[in-house]
Chain A
Protein backbone atom coordinates (compact mmCIF):
# COMPACT_ATOMS: atom_id res chain seq x y z
CA UNK A 1 0.00 0.00 0.00
CA UNK A 2 3.00 2.29 -0.20
CA UNK A 3 1.61 3.83 -3.41
CA UNK A 4 -1.57 5.01 -1.79
CA UNK A 5 -1.93 8.61 -0.66
CA UNK A 6 -3.63 8.74 2.72
CA UNK A 7 -5.95 11.71 3.17
CA UNK A 8 -7.49 13.62 6.04
CA UNK A 9 -10.44 15.79 4.96
CA UNK A 10 -11.26 18.83 7.08
CA UNK A 11 -14.46 20.85 6.70
CA UNK A 12 -16.96 22.25 9.19
CA UNK A 13 -19.84 21.46 6.81
CA UNK A 14 -21.25 17.95 7.01
CA UNK A 15 -22.53 18.21 3.42
CA UNK A 16 -19.05 18.77 2.18
CA UNK A 17 -17.41 16.11 4.34
CA UNK A 18 -19.76 13.58 2.82
CA UNK A 19 -18.89 14.73 -0.67
CA UNK A 20 -15.21 14.47 0.16
CA UNK A 21 -15.76 10.88 1.32
CA UNK A 22 -17.35 9.99 -2.00
CA UNK A 23 -14.76 11.81 -4.01
CA UNK A 24 -11.88 10.10 -2.24
CA UNK A 25 -13.60 6.74 -2.49
CA UNK A 26 -13.85 7.25 -6.23
CA UNK A 27 -10.27 8.47 -6.65
CA UNK A 28 -7.80 5.71 -7.46
CA UNK A 29 -4.56 5.99 -5.50
CA UNK A 30 -6.15 7.95 -2.64
CA UNK A 31 -7.46 6.61 0.60
CA UNK A 32 -9.32 8.62 3.17
CA UNK A 33 -8.06 7.84 6.65
CA UNK A 34 -10.10 10.36 8.58
CA UNK A 35 -12.18 13.50 8.65
CA UNK A 36 -12.36 16.46 10.95
CA UNK A 37 -14.96 19.18 11.44
CA UNK A 38 -12.71 21.84 12.94
CA UNK A 39 -9.15 23.11 13.11
CA UNK A 40 -8.34 21.69 16.54
CA UNK A 41 -9.79 18.31 15.58
CA UNK A 42 -7.71 18.36 12.42
CA UNK A 43 -4.53 19.01 14.40
CA UNK A 44 -5.30 16.14 16.75
CA UNK A 45 -6.17 13.68 13.97
CA UNK A 46 -3.21 14.71 11.82
CA UNK A 47 -0.85 13.93 14.70
CA UNK A 48 -2.58 10.62 15.28
CA UNK A 49 -3.13 9.41 11.70
CA UNK A 50 -0.10 10.96 9.98
CA UNK A 51 -1.86 11.41 6.61
CA UNK A 52 0.09 12.19 3.46
CA UNK A 53 -2.41 14.82 2.41
CA UNK A 54 -4.70 17.14 4.37
CA UNK A 55 -7.56 18.65 2.39
CA UNK A 56 -8.30 21.68 4.49
CA UNK A 57 -11.29 24.02 4.20
CA UNK A 58 -10.27 27.69 4.43
CA UNK A 59 -13.37 29.07 6.06
CA UNK A 60 -14.27 27.50 9.35
CA UNK A 61 -15.59 29.08 12.55
CA UNK A 62 -13.03 29.48 15.32
CA UNK A 63 -9.67 28.32 14.04
CA UNK A 64 -9.86 28.78 10.26
CA UNK A 65 -8.03 26.78 7.60
CA UNK A 66 -5.18 29.26 7.28
CA UNK A 67 -4.42 29.14 10.99
CA UNK A 68 -4.82 25.37 11.02
CA UNK A 69 -2.35 25.07 8.13
CA UNK A 70 0.16 27.24 9.99
CA UNK A 71 -0.10 25.08 13.08
CA UNK A 72 0.09 21.87 11.09
CA UNK A 73 3.31 23.05 9.51
CA UNK A 74 4.72 24.00 12.90
CA UNK A 75 3.68 20.74 14.51
CA UNK A 76 5.96 18.85 12.15
CA UNK A 77 3.50 16.12 11.16
CA UNK A 78 4.89 16.49 7.66
CA UNK A 79 1.60 16.24 5.80
CA UNK A 80 1.09 18.02 2.50
CA UNK A 81 -1.63 20.60 2.98
CA UNK A 82 -3.97 21.59 0.16
CA UNK A 83 -6.44 24.30 1.05
CA UNK A 84 -9.92 24.17 -0.43
CA UNK A 85 -12.30 27.06 -0.52
CA UNK A 86 -15.72 28.01 -1.76
CA UNK A 87 -14.87 31.63 -2.18
CA UNK A 88 -11.73 33.37 -3.30
CA UNK A 89 -8.53 31.45 -2.91
CA UNK A 90 -5.75 32.76 -0.74
CA UNK A 91 -2.87 34.22 -2.76
CA UNK A 92 0.20 32.03 -3.37
CA UNK A 93 2.43 34.12 -1.12
CA UNK A 94 0.28 33.72 1.94
CA UNK A 95 -0.24 30.07 1.00
CA UNK A 96 3.47 29.47 1.13
CA UNK A 97 3.86 31.54 4.27
CA UNK A 98 1.54 29.20 6.17
CA UNK A 99 3.17 26.12 4.70
CA UNK A 100 0.35 25.04 2.40
CA UNK A 101 1.40 23.30 -0.78
CA UNK A 102 -1.52 24.39 -2.89
CA UNK A 103 -5.14 25.33 -3.08
CA UNK A 104 -8.27 24.36 -4.94
CA UNK A 105 -11.68 25.85 -5.41
CA UNK A 106 -14.31 23.51 -4.03
CA UNK A 107 -16.37 23.77 -7.16
CA UNK A 108 -13.40 22.52 -9.21
CA UNK A 109 -12.83 19.44 -7.11
CA UNK A 110 -12.91 16.21 -9.06
CA UNK A 111 -10.87 13.04 -9.24
CA UNK A 112 -8.68 14.58 -11.89
CA UNK A 113 -8.29 17.87 -10.06
CA UNK A 114 -7.26 15.99 -6.94
CA UNK A 115 -4.65 14.10 -8.89
CA UNK A 116 -3.25 17.25 -10.40
CA UNK A 117 -3.20 19.07 -7.08
CA UNK A 118 -1.31 16.23 -5.44
CA UNK A 119 1.17 16.11 -8.28
CA UNK A 120 1.74 19.84 -8.20
CA UNK A 121 2.04 19.89 -4.44
CA UNK A 122 4.62 17.13 -4.29
CA UNK A 123 6.48 18.27 -7.38
CA UNK A 124 5.80 15.01 -9.17
CA UNK A 125 3.96 14.30 -12.37
CA UNK A 126 0.22 13.93 -12.47
CA UNK A 127 -0.19 10.30 -11.95
CA UNK A 128 -2.34 7.32 -11.46
CA UNK A 129 0.44 5.89 -9.38
CA UNK A 130 0.83 8.66 -6.86
CA UNK A 131 3.97 8.62 -4.80
CA UNK A 132 2.90 8.29 -1.23
CA UNK A 133 5.22 9.04 1.61
CA UNK A 134 5.78 6.31 4.05
CA UNK A 135 4.29 7.64 7.23
CA UNK A 136 6.67 7.72 10.16
CA UNK A 137 5.28 5.87 13.15
Chain B
Protein backbone atom coordinates (compact mmCIF):
# COMPACT_ATOMS: atom_id res chain seq x y z
CA UNK B 1 0.00 0.00 0.00
CA UNK B 2 1.17 3.50 -0.75
CA UNK B 3 2.08 5.44 2.33
CA UNK B 4 -0.13 8.46 2.74
CA UNK B 5 2.74 10.89 3.27
CA UNK B 6 4.52 12.10 0.10
CA UNK B 7 8.08 10.90 -0.11
CA UNK B 8 10.86 13.38 0.51
CA UNK B 9 13.04 13.00 -2.55
CA UNK B 10 16.04 15.03 -3.64
CA UNK B 11 14.58 18.32 -4.66
CA UNK B 12 14.45 18.59 -8.45
CA UNK B 13 14.95 22.35 -8.06
CA UNK B 14 18.28 21.92 -6.30
CA UNK B 15 20.38 22.25 -9.44
CA UNK B 16 18.78 25.52 -10.38
CA UNK B 17 19.23 26.87 -6.90
CA UNK B 18 22.90 25.91 -7.05
CA UNK B 19 23.33 27.70 -10.38
CA UNK B 20 21.66 30.74 -8.90
CA UNK B 21 24.05 30.82 -5.99
CA UNK B 22 27.08 30.46 -8.33
CA UNK B 23 25.85 33.30 -10.43
CA UNK B 24 25.27 35.35 -7.34
CA UNK B 25 28.80 34.64 -6.11
CA UNK B 26 30.28 35.52 -9.52
CA UNK B 27 28.23 38.71 -9.58
CA UNK B 28 29.46 39.62 -6.13
CA UNK B 29 33.09 38.98 -7.21
CA UNK B 30 32.65 41.14 -10.31
CA UNK B 31 31.10 43.86 -8.21
CA UNK B 32 34.00 43.66 -5.76
CA UNK B 33 36.42 43.94 -8.71
CA UNK B 34 34.56 46.98 -9.98
CA UNK B 35 34.62 48.61 -6.53
CA UNK B 36 38.35 47.86 -6.22
CA UNK B 37 38.99 49.36 -9.64
CA UNK B 38 36.98 52.45 -8.76
CA UNK B 39 38.88 52.84 -5.53
CA UNK B 40 42.15 52.48 -7.42
CA UNK B 41 41.00 55.14 -9.86
CA UNK B 42 40.03 57.51 -7.10
CA UNK B 43 43.60 57.32 -5.76
CA UNK B 44 45.38 57.39 -9.09
CA UNK B 45 43.44 60.04 -10.92
CA UNK B 46 41.33 59.48 -13.98
CA UNK B 47 42.74 57.30 -16.67
CA UNK B 48 40.73 55.94 -19.54
CA UNK B 49 41.34 52.20 -19.69
CA UNK B 50 40.76 51.39 -16.02
CA UNK B 51 37.54 53.44 -16.09
CA UNK B 52 36.28 51.40 -19.01
CA UNK B 53 37.34 48.22 -17.25
CA UNK B 54 35.53 49.27 -14.09
CA UNK B 55 32.41 50.10 -16.05
CA UNK B 56 32.56 46.72 -17.81
CA UNK B 57 33.00 44.99 -14.47
CA UNK B 58 29.94 46.77 -13.09
CA UNK B 59 27.92 45.79 -16.14
CA UNK B 60 29.03 42.14 -15.90
CA UNK B 61 28.20 42.15 -12.21
CA UNK B 62 24.75 43.56 -12.84
CA UNK B 63 24.13 40.98 -15.57
CA UNK B 64 25.25 38.07 -13.39
CA UNK B 65 23.12 39.23 -10.49
CA UNK B 66 20.14 39.56 -12.79
CA UNK B 67 20.65 36.03 -14.09
CA UNK B 68 21.01 34.76 -10.53
CA UNK B 69 17.76 36.44 -9.64
CA UNK B 70 15.90 34.82 -12.53
CA UNK B 71 17.38 31.41 -11.96
CA UNK B 72 16.44 31.52 -8.28
CA UNK B 73 12.94 32.66 -9.22
CA UNK B 74 12.51 29.74 -11.60
CA UNK B 75 13.80 27.33 -9.00
CA UNK B 76 11.36 28.63 -6.43
CA UNK B 77 8.46 28.48 -8.84
CA UNK B 78 9.20 24.86 -9.73
CA UNK B 79 9.64 23.99 -6.08
CA UNK B 80 6.31 25.61 -5.35
CA UNK B 81 4.61 23.59 -8.05
CA UNK B 82 6.08 20.38 -6.69
CA UNK B 83 4.99 21.12 -3.14
CA UNK B 84 1.51 22.08 -4.28
CA UNK B 85 1.18 18.83 -6.18
CA UNK B 86 2.48 16.84 -3.21
CA UNK B 87 0.06 18.60 -0.87
CA UNK B 88 -2.82 17.91 -3.25
CA UNK B 89 -1.91 14.23 -3.39
CA UNK B 90 -1.65 14.01 0.38
CA UNK B 91 -4.98 15.78 0.79
CA UNK B 92 -6.63 13.48 -1.72
CA UNK B 93 -5.31 10.39 0.04
CA UNK B 94 -6.34 11.72 3.41
CA UNK B 95 -9.84 12.43 2.14
CA UNK B 96 -10.13 8.98 0.62
CA UNK B 97 -8.96 7.38 3.84
CA UNK B 98 -11.38 9.48 5.88
CA UNK B 99 -14.22 8.48 3.58
CA UNK B 100 -13.26 4.83 3.96
CA UNK B 101 -13.22 5.19 7.76
CA UNK B 102 -16.67 6.77 7.70
CA UNK B 103 -17.98 4.08 5.36
CA UNK B 104 -16.57 1.31 7.49
CA UNK B 105 -18.08 2.86 10.64
CA UNK B 106 -21.40 2.98 8.81
CA UNK B 107 -21.05 -0.67 7.76
CA UNK B 108 -20.23 -1.55 11.33
CA UNK B 109 -23.32 0.21 12.67
CA UNK B 110 -25.49 -1.60 10.15
CA UNK B 111 -23.95 -4.92 11.14
CA UNK B 112 -24.65 -4.24 14.80
CA UNK B 113 -28.24 -3.29 14.05
CA UNK B 114 -28.68 -6.46 12.01
CA UNK B 115 -27.11 -8.61 14.72
CA UNK B 116 -29.40 -7.09 17.32
CA UNK B 117 -32.43 -7.52 15.11
CA UNK B 118 -31.70 -11.09 14.13
CA UNK B 119 -30.40 -12.10 17.52
CA UNK B 120 -31.41 -10.77 20.88
CA UNK B 121 -34.44 -8.85 19.66
CA UNK B 122 -35.95 -11.90 17.94
CA UNK B 123 -35.30 -14.03 20.98
CA UNK B 124 -36.93 -11.55 23.31
CA UNK B 125 -39.99 -11.18 21.14
CA UNK B 126 -40.27 -14.95 20.84
CA UNK B 127 -39.95 -15.16 24.62
CA UNK B 128 -42.68 -12.60 25.08
CA UNK B 129 -45.07 -14.66 22.96
CA UNK B 130 -44.10 -17.96 24.49
CA UNK B 131 -44.42 -16.67 28.04
CA UNK B 132 -48.00 -15.84 27.27
CA UNK B 133 -48.53 -19.32 25.84
CA UNK B 134 -46.97 -20.86 28.93
CA UNK B 135 -49.20 -18.77 31.12
CA UNK B 136 -52.26 -20.23 29.44
CA UNK B 137 -50.76 -23.68 29.70
CA UNK B 138 -50.37 -23.49 33.48
CA UNK B 139 -54.07 -24.08 34.09
CA UNK B 140 -54.40 -26.88 31.59
CA UNK B 141 -51.16 -28.77 32.01
CA UNK B 142 -48.97 -27.52 34.88
CA UNK B 143 -46.14 -29.99 34.34
CA UNK B 144 -45.86 -29.19 30.64
CA UNK B 145 -45.99 -25.50 31.53
CA UNK B 146 -43.12 -25.97 33.99
CA UNK B 147 -41.07 -27.71 31.34
CA UNK B 148 -41.79 -24.88 28.92
CA UNK B 149 -40.67 -22.32 31.46
CA UNK B 150 -37.38 -24.10 31.99
CA UNK B 151 -36.86 -24.04 28.25
CA UNK B 152 -37.60 -20.35 28.21
CA UNK B 153 -35.01 -19.80 30.91
CA UNK B 154 -32.42 -21.33 28.61
CA UNK B 155 -33.68 -18.99 25.90
CA UNK B 156 -33.06 -16.04 28.19
CA UNK B 157 -29.52 -17.28 28.82
CA UNK B 158 -28.91 -17.53 25.10
CA UNK B 159 -30.21 -14.03 24.54
CA UNK B 160 -27.93 -12.76 27.29
CA UNK B 161 -24.90 -14.51 25.83
CA UNK B 162 -25.68 -13.11 22.42
CA UNK B 163 -25.90 -9.60 23.82
CA UNK B 164 -22.67 -10.05 25.72
CA UNK B 165 -20.82 -11.22 22.61
CA UNK B 166 -22.22 -8.36 20.60
CA UNK B 167 -21.25 -5.78 23.21
CA UNK B 168 -17.79 -7.32 23.32
CA UNK B 169 -17.42 -6.91 19.57
CA UNK B 170 -18.36 -3.25 19.83
CA UNK B 171 -15.77 -2.51 22.48
CA UNK B 172 -14.11 -5.27 24.44
CA UNK B 173 -14.66 -4.48 28.13
CA UNK B 174 -11.21 -5.83 28.96
CA UNK B 175 -9.67 -3.26 26.65
CA UNK B 176 -11.40 -0.43 28.46
CA UNK B 177 -10.75 -1.86 31.93
CA UNK B 178 -7.31 -3.40 31.70
CA UNK B 179 -5.69 -2.10 28.54
CA UNK B 180 -4.11 -3.50 25.43
CA UNK B 181 -1.97 -6.28 26.82
CA UNK B 182 -4.72 -7.97 28.82
CA UNK B 183 -7.27 -7.55 26.05
CA UNK B 184 -4.93 -9.04 23.46
CA UNK B 185 -3.94 -11.84 25.80
CA UNK B 186 -7.58 -12.77 26.26
CA UNK B 187 -8.26 -12.71 22.52
CA UNK B 188 -5.09 -14.64 21.78
CA UNK B 189 -6.27 -17.40 24.10
CA UNK B 190 -9.14 -18.09 21.70
CA UNK B 191 -7.10 -17.95 18.52
CA UNK B 192 -6.87 -20.96 16.24
CA UNK B 193 -3.06 -20.98 16.57
CA UNK B 194 -0.99 -20.84 19.74
CA UNK B 195 0.08 -17.28 20.41
CA UNK B 196 3.10 -16.05 22.27
CA UNK B 197 2.57 -12.57 23.60
CA UNK B 198 5.43 -10.40 24.70
CA UNK B 199 4.92 -6.89 26.03
CA UNK B 200 7.38 -4.39 27.46
CA UNK B 201 6.80 -0.88 28.64
CA UNK B 202 3.19 -0.79 27.54
CA UNK B 203 1.02 1.62 29.52
CA UNK B 204 -2.46 2.98 29.00
CA UNK B 205 -3.23 5.22 26.07
CA UNK B 206 -6.24 7.03 24.72
CA UNK B 207 -9.20 4.79 23.74
CA UNK B 208 -8.66 5.67 20.06
CA UNK B 209 -5.07 4.48 20.14
CA UNK B 210 -5.80 1.41 22.20
CA UNK B 211 -8.70 0.30 20.04
CA UNK B 212 -6.83 1.00 16.78
CA UNK B 213 -3.86 -1.09 17.89
CA UNK B 214 -6.10 -3.77 19.39
CA UNK B 215 -8.27 -4.25 16.30
CA UNK B 216 -5.26 -4.15 13.96
CA UNK B 217 -3.37 -6.71 15.99
CA UNK B 218 -6.50 -8.85 16.10
CA UNK B 219 -7.00 -8.61 12.34
CA UNK B 220 -3.35 -9.52 11.81
CA UNK B 221 -3.78 -12.47 14.16
CA UNK B 222 -6.90 -13.60 12.35
CA UNK B 223 -5.11 -13.25 9.03
CA UNK B 224 -2.24 -15.37 10.31
CA UNK B 225 -4.69 -18.06 11.42
CA UNK B 226 -6.61 -17.85 8.17
CA UNK B 227 -4.00 -17.29 5.48
CA UNK B 228 -0.53 -18.27 6.73
CA UNK B 229 0.04 -21.65 5.08
CA UNK B 230 1.49 -24.23 7.44
CA UNK B 231 1.91 -21.85 10.35
CA UNK B 232 2.37 -23.41 13.80
CA UNK B 233 2.41 -20.33 15.95
CA UNK B 234 2.06 -16.59 16.08
CA UNK B 235 4.14 -14.12 18.04
CA UNK B 236 2.69 -10.82 19.15
CA UNK B 237 5.09 -8.23 20.52
CA UNK B 238 4.16 -4.89 22.05
CA UNK B 239 6.80 -2.36 22.87
CA UNK B 240 6.12 1.00 24.45
CA UNK B 241 9.53 1.61 25.95
CA UNK B 242 10.42 4.59 23.81
CA UNK B 243 7.66 6.57 25.49
CA UNK B 244 6.76 8.43 22.29
CA UNK B 245 5.83 5.55 20.07
CA UNK B 246 3.98 2.32 20.58
CA UNK B 247 5.15 -0.55 18.41
CA UNK B 248 3.34 -3.76 17.85
CA UNK B 249 4.16 -6.69 15.64
CA UNK B 250 2.32 -9.83 14.73
CA UNK B 251 4.54 -12.47 13.18
CA UNK B 252 3.63 -15.92 11.98
CA UNK B 253 5.82 -18.82 10.90
CA UNK B 254 3.82 -19.76 7.83
CA UNK B 255 5.18 -20.20 4.32
CA UNK B 256 7.37 -17.40 3.09
CA UNK B 257 5.30 -14.60 1.63
CA UNK B 258 5.55 -14.44 -2.15
CA UNK B 259 7.67 -11.59 -3.45
CA UNK B 260 5.82 -8.37 -4.13
CA UNK B 261 3.02 -6.78 -2.26
CA UNK B 262 0.03 -8.56 -0.79
CA UNK B 263 -3.19 -7.64 -2.48
CA UNK B 264 -4.93 -5.90 0.42
CA UNK B 265 -8.50 -6.89 1.10
CA UNK B 266 -10.99 -5.18 3.38
CA UNK B 267 -9.06 -6.34 6.46
CA UNK B 268 -5.73 -4.79 5.54
CA UNK B 269 -7.32 -1.63 4.13
CA UNK B 270 -9.19 -1.26 7.40
CA UNK B 271 -5.96 -1.64 9.35
CA UNK B 272 -4.32 1.10 7.30
CA UNK B 273 -7.26 3.42 7.79
CA UNK B 274 -7.65 2.84 11.50
CA UNK B 275 -3.96 3.45 12.05
CA UNK B 276 -3.88 6.49 9.78
CA UNK B 277 -6.67 7.97 11.88
CA UNK B 278 -4.35 8.00 14.90
CA UNK B 279 -1.24 8.99 12.93
CA UNK B 280 0.17 5.48 12.91
CA UNK B 281 1.68 3.34 10.18
CA UNK B 282 1.51 -0.24 9.06
CA UNK B 283 4.03 -2.42 7.31
CA UNK B 284 3.31 -5.91 6.11
CA UNK B 285 6.05 -8.05 4.69
CA UNK B 286 7.96 -11.27 4.92
CA UNK B 287 9.24 -12.10 8.38
CA UNK B 288 12.93 -12.97 8.67
CA UNK B 289 13.31 -16.57 7.51
CA UNK B 290 9.67 -17.41 6.85
CA UNK B 291 6.14 -16.25 7.42
CA UNK B 292 4.55 -12.84 7.48
CA UNK B 293 5.28 -9.92 9.77
CA UNK B 294 2.86 -7.12 10.42
CA UNK B 295 4.45 -4.09 12.04
CA UNK B 296 2.44 -1.34 13.59
CA UNK B 297 3.72 1.97 14.92
CA UNK B 298 1.65 4.62 16.56
CA UNK B 299 2.94 7.85 18.03
CA UNK B 300 1.74 8.22 21.58
CA UNK B 301 1.72 11.10 24.01
CA UNK B 302 3.39 10.40 27.32
CA UNK B 303 1.73 7.32 28.80
CA UNK B 304 -1.06 8.06 31.27
CA UNK B 305 0.28 5.47 33.64
CA UNK B 306 3.51 3.49 33.71
CA UNK B 307 3.26 -0.24 34.15
CA UNK B 308 4.04 -1.18 37.74
CA UNK B 309 7.49 -2.43 38.68
CA UNK B 310 9.29 -0.63 35.87
CA UNK B 311 11.82 2.04 36.82
CA UNK B 312 10.76 5.57 35.83
Seen from chain A, the residues whose Cβ lies within 8 Å of a Cβ on chain B are 12-13, 15-16, 18-19, 22-23, 26, 59, 86-87, 106-107, 109-111
Which of B88-96, B130-138, B175-183, B262-270 contacts its partner? Answer: B130-138
User: Measured between C-beta atoms, what is the minimum distance from B79 to chain A in Å?
Assistant: 56
Contacts of B117 in A (CB 8 A): 59, 86-87
Closest A-B pairs by Cβ, 4 of them:
A19-B126, A106-B125, A13-B122, A107-B125
Pairwise interchain contact A110-B129, C-beta atoms closer than 8 A: yes
Pairwise interchain contact B126-A15, C-beta atoms closer than 8 A: yes
Contacts of B123 in A (CB 8 A): 15
Question: What are some 26 contacts across the A-B interface (CB < 8 A)?
Answer: A12-B118, A13-B118, A13-B122, A15-B122, A15-B123, A15-B126, A16-B122, A18-B126, A19-B129, A22-B129, A22-B130, A22-B133, A23-B133, A26-B133, A26-B137, A86-B117, A86-B121, A106-B125, A106-B129, A107-B125, A107-B128, A109-B129, A110-B129, A110-B132, A111-B133, A111-B136
Q: Across the two chains, which residue of chain A brings its CB closest to B159?
A: A15
Besides the known contacts A86-B117, A107-B129, A110-B132, 10 further A-B residue pairs in the complex with CB atoms under 8 A apart: A12-B118, A13-B122, A15-B126, A16-B125, A19-B129, A22-B130, A86-B125, A106-B125, A107-B125, A111-B133
Pairwise interchain contact A23-B129, C-beta atoms closer than 8 A: yes
Contacts of B133 in A (CB 8 A): 22-23, 26, 111
CB within 8 Å: A-B pair count? 38
In the complex, A22 Cα to B137 Cα: how many Å?
11
Most chain B beta-carbon neighbours within 10 Å: one of A12, A13, A18, A23: A13
Q: Across the two chains, which residue of chain B brings its CB closest to A23?
A: B129
Per-position 1/0 for B119-152, Cβ under 8 A of A: 0011101101110110011000000000000000
Pairwise interchain contact B125-A26, C-beta atoms closer than 8 A: no
Contacts of B121 in A (CB 8 A): 86
Q: Across the two chains, which residue of chain B brings its CB closest to A110?
A: B132
In the complex, A104 Cα to B136 Cα: how many Å?
21
Per-position 1/0 for B255-279, Cβ under 8 A of A: 0000000000000000000000000
